[in-house]
């Protein structure tokens, strides 16, 4: 809603064009002119330099206005763009000024630009991981190790391809015709950039808006470097227009990424994208093997060895990643199983745990009430219920009621002996299984729980001895009957085994069960 001054015309609400879209339009125009005009046109070099310098200026202006926490990463990237711009100006100097500049000087400017570029991307990916957090509840150290392993698989495969199809041919040409060894440096630094960026990519993780244009910029320059390197080796096709277009696309996308660096991180979607991550990882590991299979007939012995090595290392890395994935799957399965057996509010075991535990115990030791020692095979079951819990909730609120349940669970668990099982049965009711205690000792444990009940609340309990051959439902019915009896006789007491011969003073005869149930809460 917007307000206007009296008598003023209402302002139509419309969607405002983002600033980075305007930048795309402004920077794309000279880039398109430079690409379409081609290397022989006098307009192309001017348009090319205008695009590169404008991109560097935009990134620098953004860096100045960024918060201190984000400024370092983009400051390094701005430095890289200025070095690349210097290399472009030097390479186009013969066309622009008529002065000849040695190729080694322009190559030095280009290669030096990769150092701040890698540094900036490293700092940026660290901030991305810190802001978005691990995926799926992973611990940060585990998630980081898995991302490094996946990025290493990609880098190993790409390195094998670069060695086979770029470095070995460059070394061969250098030995035969003195080709510059710097030609093999570009693909290698590109692999480093891909490795660094791949560490920050996790499908399903919240990513900043700058991620997509930055990734596309790196993809554009990597593709251009690869095409340029292969063209230099083959020497048959002129790819200047194509590579210049890709490098200019990188310049524009870097400016867009810098502009979007100020936007907040959007929440991640529901999909985890694990399938996409695995597809990329497996495909990357398979690339050397595919290249070896397709081009085995035309490769030298050295090239075949490098592809075989890359394929082997990639397969081993995938096996290691599969083992890590299996361990992670087991860990998450255990977490889910634990959640299914635990009460969310009190962190006590729930009825499912009770059923599993009782079935396991009765299967191994059915119990014998005639055991004269009163230990080992003798078991007691108790049901405990907080008195007037509904009234407590109505008076203090449901949050206070939840806190009371949590506090009871903590205090009772601390007061119980080892081997006792306390579960939340439902609502304000709890169930207790005691092993190896005589009747008086079992009753003393239940009375001890009543004594440590917090917030001045009282507890009613029904305690029974588990008879030999008695099923679970039957013993629970008897414990429940004793609990109803405790409620009927005035609450705040334990009824059942081990109670005094004479009833408590002031105890009233219990009414019929239906009436007691109506008054229970």
Question: In this structure, what DSSP letter does residue 465 have?
Answer: E
Single out the residue of 470, 466, 463, 460 nearest to residue 497, CA to CA. Answer: 463
Q: Pick the closest to residue 288 from 91, 153, 141, 114 (CA basis).
A: 153
Radius of gyration of the chain (CA): 37
Element (H, E) at 355: helix 351-364
**Most distant pair of Cα atoms in the chain: their distance:** 117
d(CA 34, CA 87): 17
Residues 453 and 465 sit within 8 Å (Cβ to Cβ): no
- Check if the beta carbon of residue 129 is closer than 8 Å to that of residue 200: yes
Phi, psi of 517 (to 5 degrees): -65, -35
Let me know: does 483 contact 495? Beta carbons within 8 Å.
yes
How many whole angstroms separate alpha carbon 48 and alpha carbon 352? 70
State the Cα–Cα distance between residues 424 and 426, nearest whole angstrom.
6
Buried b (16+ CB within 10 A) or exposed e, 203-225: bbbbbbbbbebbbbbbbbbbbbb
**Residue 133: which region, alpha, beta or left (left: phi > 0; alpha: psi -120 to 50)?**
left
Closest CA to 43 of 30, 55, 56, 54: 30
The rounded distance, in Å, linking the Cα atoms of 493 and 330 is 46
Contact 454, 404 (CB under 8 A): yes
Compute the distance between CA of residue 479 and CA of residue 384 in angstroms, rounded to an integer: 9
Give the full edge-to-edge strand order of the sheet including 459-465: 421-426, 429-435, 379-386, 459-465, 494-496
Q: Which residues are catalytic, by number?
A: 428
Assess contact for 445 and 416: CB atoms under 8 A.
yes
- Which position has the token pair 């322009």? 106
């Amino acid at each position: 809603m917007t307000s206007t001054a009296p008598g003023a015309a209402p302002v139509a609400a419309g969607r405002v064009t983002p600033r980075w879209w305007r930048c795309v339009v402004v920077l794309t125009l000279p880039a398109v002119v430079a690409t379409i005009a081609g290397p022989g046109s006098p307009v192309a070099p001017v348009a090319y330099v205008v695009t590169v310098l404008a991109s560097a200026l935009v990134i620098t202006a953004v860096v100045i206005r960024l918060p201190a926490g984000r400024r370092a990463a983009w400051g390094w990237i701005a430095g890289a763009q200025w070095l690349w711009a210097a290399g472009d100006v030097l390479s186009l100097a013969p066309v622009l000024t008529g002065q000849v500049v040695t190729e080694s000087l322009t190559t030095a400017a280009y290669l030096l630009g990769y150092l701040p570029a890698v540094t900036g991307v490293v700092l940026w990916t660290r901030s991305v991981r810190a802001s978005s957090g691990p995926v799926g509840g992973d611990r940060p150290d585990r998630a980081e190790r898995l991302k490094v392993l996946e990025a290493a698989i990609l880098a190993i495969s790409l390195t094998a391809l670069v060695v086979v199809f770029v470095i070995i041919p460059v070394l061969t040409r250098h030995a035969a015709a003195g080709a510059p060894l710097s030609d093999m440096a570009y693909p290698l630094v590109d692999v480093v950039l891909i490795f660094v960026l791949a560490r920050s990519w996790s499908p399903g993780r919240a990513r900043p808006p700058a991620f997509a244009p930055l990734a596309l910029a790196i993809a554009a320059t990597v593709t251009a470097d690869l095409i340029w390197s292969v063209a230099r080796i083959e020497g048959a096709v002129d790819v200047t227009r194509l590579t210049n277009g890709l490098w200019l696309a990188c310049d524009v996308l870097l400016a867009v990424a810098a502009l979007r660096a100020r936007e907040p991180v959007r929440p991640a979607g529901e999909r985890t994208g694990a399938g996409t991550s695995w597809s990329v990882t497996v495909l990357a590991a398979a690339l050397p093997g595919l290249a070896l299979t397709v081009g085995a007939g035309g490769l030298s012995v050295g090239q075949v060895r490098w592809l075989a090595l890359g394929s082997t290392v990639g397969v081993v890395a995938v096996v290691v990643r599969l083992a890590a994935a299996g361990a992670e799957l087991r860990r998450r399965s255990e977490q889910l199983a634990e959640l299914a057996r635990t009460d969310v509010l009190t962190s006590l075991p729930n009825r499912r745990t009770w059923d599993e535990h009782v079935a396991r115990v009765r299967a191994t030791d059915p119990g014998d009430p005639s055991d004269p020692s009163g230990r080992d095979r003798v078991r007691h079951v108790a049901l405990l219920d907080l008195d007037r819990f509904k009234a407590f909730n109505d008076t203090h609120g449901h949050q206070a009621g939840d806190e009371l349940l949590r506090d009871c669970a903590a205090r009772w668990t601390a007061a119980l002996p080892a081997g006792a099982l306390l579960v939340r049965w439902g609502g304000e009711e709890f169930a207790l299984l005691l092993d190896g205690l005589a009747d008086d000792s079992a009753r003393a444990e239940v009375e001890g729980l009543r004594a440590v009940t917090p917030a001045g609340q009282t507890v009613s309990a029904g305690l029974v001895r588990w008879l030999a051959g008695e099923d679970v439902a039957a013993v629970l019915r008897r414990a429940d009957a004793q609990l109803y009896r405790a409620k009927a006789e005035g609450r705040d007491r334990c009824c059942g085994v081990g109670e005094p011969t004479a009833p408590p003073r002031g105890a009233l005869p219990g009414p019929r069960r239906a009436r007691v149930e109506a008054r229970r809460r």
